[in-house]
Amino acid sequence: MTDTQQPRPDAAVRATLDKAAHENFPVAPFFLPRAWRDDLMAVYGYARLVDDIGDGDLAPGGADARHLGVDPRHADPLTLLDAFETDLRRVFAADDTPHHPLLRALVPTVRRCGLTPEPFLGLIAANRQDQLVSRYETYDDLVAYCELSANPVGRLVLGITGTSSPERLRHSDAICTALQIVEHLQDVAEDLGRDRVYLPAEDMKRFHVTEADLARPTGGASVRALVAFEAERARNLLNEGTPLVGSVHGRLRLLLAGFVAGGHAALDAVAAAGHDVLPRPPKPTKPRLMRRAGAVLRQARREG
């Protein structure tokens, strides 16, 4: 293999990266410069892998555990997250090399873009929290979790594109928190199967919803009213963050419009299902995503 050739990714790496096609929003669309696409996929691979560790969704065979120096027979999530953090710190060390191929792929992005460890560590902290905290009493508690589990991704996108500013970070955080809440709404039944509930307990009490209601094949009127309430909160956060799109130009504007549109289109799918998210996760259609992207871009041109 020559110096310019990249090693073929193993099956575990490929399985992780292939999940990009199933996200609500485009991860690294074709219209971006090649360097941005490579950097975004490197960050996506990291974020997806740390979530898969936390959720116990790693590819079969134990390759990820072995990359991290963990015996697959003893590869519980907390042990793997500890090993993953140790390997992450090698990304930022001048005299060391990460062991996991997805972390090795992250090194050029970190160097080129001057990224710091904090957003990456936040994602690990969120997944550690998932192992220890399975219910959230208040909406503010849930938002604090999203600050770890979602907001770092938007901050990394701004870092990769060299467009960070305090105002943009604030708008990005609103969008990312909204996208995380949308994902939780789509996955209520799946999360309950993992013994996790991301609907705030105080809101469940307000709408007279119990966990037994969430375990049913379809949602009753109270469940659907609760989901509609949380969906409106997410919609408001998306609108709060939308000025981010108009604050940038060119292909980055298209990318960020895709993120916002993905959230709106997913919420449209939830609404189209009558806010009954229990039978299956409502997914946005491509035409709806494109219409929403067009609307976001038109708004950005008006406000820009």
pLDDT of residue 29: 79
- How many other CB atoms are found less than 10 A from the CB of residue 77? 18
pLDDT tens-place string over residues 164-208: 999 999 999 999 999 999 999 999 999 999 999 999 999 999 999
- Cβ pair 165, 142 in contact under 8 A: no
Sorted by sequence, the CB contacts under 8 Å of residue 95 that are 6+ apart come out as none
pLDDT of residue 298: 94
Q: Which amino acid is at 81?
A: L
Over the range 114-148, which residues count as b (16 or more CB within 10 Å of their CB) and which as e? ebeeebbebbbbbbbebeeeeebeeeeebbebbbb
- Cβ pair 245, 253 in contact under 8 A: yes
pLDDT of residue 218: 98
pLDDT of residue 156: 97
Q: Which two tokens stand for residue 46?
A: 């990291």
pLDDT of residue 10: 72
pLDDT of residue 7: 42
pLDDT of residue 25: 59
Q: How far is CA 27 from CA 70, 94, 169, 171, 230, in A?
A: 30, 29, 19, 19, 25
Low-confidence ranges of the chain (pLDDT < 50): 1-8
- Cβ pair 269, 282 in contact under 8 A: yes
- Positive or negative, the CA dihedral 9, 10, 12, 18 is positive
pLDDT of residue 26: 64
pLDDT of residue 13: 77
pLDDT of residue 296: 95
pTM of the model: 0.91
pLDDT of residue 21: 57
Angle at 154 between CA 151 and CA 20, to 5 degrees: 105
Which DSSP letter does residue 74 get?
G
- How many other CB atoms are found less than 10 A from the CB of residue 236? 12
Q: Which two tokens stand for residue 241?
A: 């963050």
Distance separating alpha carbons of residues 157 and 32, to the nearest angstrom: 13
